[in-house]
Amino acid sequence: DGGITQSPKYLFRKEGQNVTLSCEQNLNHDAMYWYRQDPGQGLRLIYYSQIVNDFQKGDIAEGYSVSREKKESFPLTVTSAQKNPTAFYLCASKRGGGATQPQHFGDGTRLSIL
């Protein structure tokens, strides 16, 4: 079955450490997205990419970095500059840039501070 795989499911970060969250899709989708979800809030956009080797900042990009070297993969690095990284991180993809296409989501990675 096609879908989006996020790993790991749970991740712990020490102070001053960078961590990388993996997101892989086999849906052949062009666009990929990273969101952050905090309790009682909707999703906030961190970064998005519409094609390989191109990505754009979302609303809360500070302290995060991404790469898009392959169509299937869109890893997110949470750097030490992100002072409040504890959250649920969701990766999504969709077929194209058109606004009528729905996004498909992975099952998320929960990041906590040690």
Partner 1 sequence: AQSVTQLDSHVSVSEGTPVLLRCNYSSSYSPSLFWYVQHPNKGLQLLLKYTSAATLVKGINGFEAEFKKSETSFHLTKPSAHMSDAAEYFCVVSDEWDTGRRALTFGSGTRLQVQP
User: Which of these ranges, 13-21, 64-72, 75-83, 104-112, lies near partner 1 under the rule CB under 8 A?
Assistant: 104-112
CB of 111 vs partner 1, minimal distance in Å: 13
Of 71 and 80, the one with the shorter C-beta distance to partner 1 is 71
CB of 31 vs partner 1, minimal distance in Å: 8
Residue that has been written with the tokens 């169509």 in this structure: 71
The set of residues, in sequence order, having a beta carbon less than 8 Å from that of 91 and lying 6+ positions away, is 4, 6, 21, 23, 25, 32, 33, 34, 35, 74, 76, 105, 106, 108
CB of 41 vs partner 1, minimal distance in Å: 6
Please say whether the beta carbons of 69 and 80 come within 8 A.
Answer: no
C-alpha–C-alpha distance, residues 55 and 61, integer Å = 11
Of 20 and 96, the one with the shorter C-beta distance to partner 1 is 96
CB of 67 vs partner 1, minimal distance in Å: 19
Q: For the chain, what is the largest distance between any 2 Cα atoms, rounded to a whole number of angstroms? A: 41
Of 13 and 104, the one with the shorter C-beta distance to partner 1 is 104
Residue that has been written with the tokens 């989708």 in this structure: 29
Which residues here bind partner 1, judged by CB under 8 A? 4, 6, 40-45, 48, 50, 56, 58, 88, 90, 92, 97-100, 102-108, 110
